[in-house]
Amino acid sequence: MKFQFIPREPFVKLVKKQLSEWNLFEKLWLVTFTAVNIYLFFAWHDTLIGLVASLTGMVCVVLTTKGKISSFYFGLINILAYSYVAWKSAYYGDVALNMLYFLPMTFLGIYYWKRNNNKNKNEVIVRRLKWNERIIWLAASLAVSVGLGFLLRLFNDTLPFVDSVTTVFSIVATILLTKRSKDQWFYWVMVDVWSIVMWVYIFLRDGNDVSMLVMWSAYLVNAIYGYYNWRKMEKENEK
């Protein structure tokens, strides 16, 4: 007996349909970032796993700015690849964060976003925190970051307090991401800034993992754009 797989929609047609929902900035941003990353991969003889982590991570965050549930699928690949690179660089806080937290939260995010999706526009329905909630989340994040920093220093972490801030703020940002809150972007900006500091240190020390530095720099720009786009989505949802 012969089994034939007939796709419901040809791959090229599917890609065109997805890209038709992207504006010019988003298309140019993704193409430019991909080209730069591939160039640096060959110029600096970077690792292939680092390139995979960087590219899948970028696609993931761009799709997140657009409120697309497909962002989680690219994020899954990024989590596995990035965890390996972070382990090799002795950023153990990042490794634990990705494997013990981001990985299960990815599946949780898929579940909640599917339940709160705008069917007409195929994007998630955006919400926001109240001011008292914002103050509580920020105060708790800073307090836990200090405590975790002292703990990571006991394990000879490369940059314990910077690593702790990126770890804790990433946890909070992911919770807010799952809750569909636009306030997540403030935490992502902070994570991106301090992650750039971490990987600049590695680059200056060892001269490698340049793909990680480029990735986090791109994330920072993307997070700023994400806040802008989610504000616009929020206003459209309210209408």
| 83-130 per-position pLDDT tens digit | 998 898 887 877 887 999 899 999 999 999 988 887 777 788 898 999
Residue 23 falls inside a structural domain: no
Q: Which of the residue ranges 23-37, 55-69, 93-107 would you say has the lowest mean pLDDT?
A: 23-37
| Residue 42: inside a domain | yes
Q: Give me the number of domains the chain comprises.
A: 1
Buried b (16+ CB within 10 A) or exposed e, 112-121: ebeeebeeee
Alpha helices, DSSP H, located in 89-183: 92-97, 103-115, 131-154, 160-178
126: DSSP letter: P
Confidence (pLDDT) at 208? 65
pLDDT of residue 83: 92
State the chain's mean pLDDT as an integer: 84
Residue 3 falls within a domain, yes or no? Answer: no
Cα separation of 187 and 79, whole Å? Answer: 18
In a domain, 20, yes or no: no
The pTM of the full predicted model, rounded to 2 decimals, is 0.78
What value does the mean pLDDT take over residues 213-221? Answer: 84
Task: Identify whether 233 is part of a domain.
Answer: yes
Minimum mean pLDDT among 19-28, 54-63, 154-163, 195-204: which range? 19-28
Whether residue 108 contacts residue 178, with contact meaning beta carbons closer than 8 Å, is answered with: yes
**Residue that wins the pLDDT comparison between 83 and 43:** 83
CB contact at 8 A, 127 and 67: no
Share of the chain above pLDDT 90, in %: 38
**Cβ neighbours of residue 38 closer than 8 Å, sequence gap 6 or more:** 51
Q: Which domain holds residue 143?
A: 28-238
Residue 36 has pLDDT above 90, yes or no: no
Q: Is 14 inside a domain boundary?
A: no
Please indicate, yes or no, if residue 6 is contained in any of the structural domains: no
pLDDT at residue 8 greater than cutoff 60 = no
pLDDT at res. 182: 93
Torsions phi, psi of 21, nearest 5? -90, -5
Within a domain: residue 9?
no
Q: What is the dihedral of CA 183, 187, 189, 195, to 10 degrees?
A: -160
pLDDT tops 70 at residue 19: no
Mean pLDDT of 43-72: 86
